[in-house]
Amino acid sequence: MKSLEAFELYRFYHSGDDETAALRGVSIQLEAGAFLALMGPSGSGKSTLLACLAGLDEPDGGHVEVTGIRLSRRSEAERAALRARHIGIMMQSGNLFEHLTVEENMRLQMSLAKKVDPQEITHLLVVMGLESRRMARPSQLSGGEAARAGLAVALSADPQVLLADEPTAEVDKTTEVNILKLLRDRCNSGGAVLVATHSEALAASADRVIHLQDGRLIHE
């Protein structure tokens, strides 16, 4: 079963008379149980692609389907509801509500998906090395802690699809190993994972690596 599918995605940004093509006809299929790594230089369109796949941004051309349901060209409320049910998303910033603690951010995500599980909160915090920081607010976290907390929030509702932007960018080797094991375990239990990364270790753990350059997939 295809957990996530993108069909010929285009995304353009405009500044005055200038037009930048961030995505140029990108198509992706992500099966249940698959672990896909997305690599490419900074500015290649990786973050834009993840935002479109998650329904946080609308492509200018093409569309996205999650578990066979069309995500694109819907209202923001409809996209948010589909995202809550099916997708965990970790971007490079903006993953946490500033007025909530780490645990409260996780509980909110679970509540949106109607999957509140206190034991899973504790499990994820332990894996991320954040058990002692569960009552901390985002402003009290280091950059690495905030990134790990964002990943914990993305995973908290046991999503069918996980989309993560550089989840191991600011972690030590031990935590990186723990995160890679967690991602692999999710795939082994039927979840689908797509991670944008510069990490060779993460790419080596994936089932497949695709490369994005100037908004195009250059090879798989």
CATH number of the structural domain spanning residue 91:
3.40.50.300
Cβ–Cβ under 8 Å, residues 153 and 121: no
Q: Which tens digit of pLDDT belongs to each residue from 93-138?
A: 889 999 999 999 999 999 998 888 999 999 999 988 899 999 999 9
- Is residue 74 within 8 Å of 45, Cβ to Cβ? no
pLDDT at 15: 84
What pLDDT is attached to residue 178? 85
> How many domains does one find in the chain?
1
pLDDT of residue 220 exceeding 60, the answer is no
Q: Is the pTM of this model over 0.85?
A: yes
* Among candidate residues 29, 70, 30, 24, the one with its CA nearest the CA of residue 48: 24
Q: What is the mean pLDDT of residues 151-155?
A: 94
> Given this model, what pLDDT does residue 61 score?
97
- Report the percentage of the chain scoring pLDDT > 90: 76
Cβ neighbourhood burial of 117 (10 Å; 0-12, 13-18, 19+): middle
Instruction: Give the per-residue pLDDT at 160.
Output: 95
Give the domain extent around 181: 2-219
**CA–CA distance, 43 with 34 (Å, rounded to integer):** 25
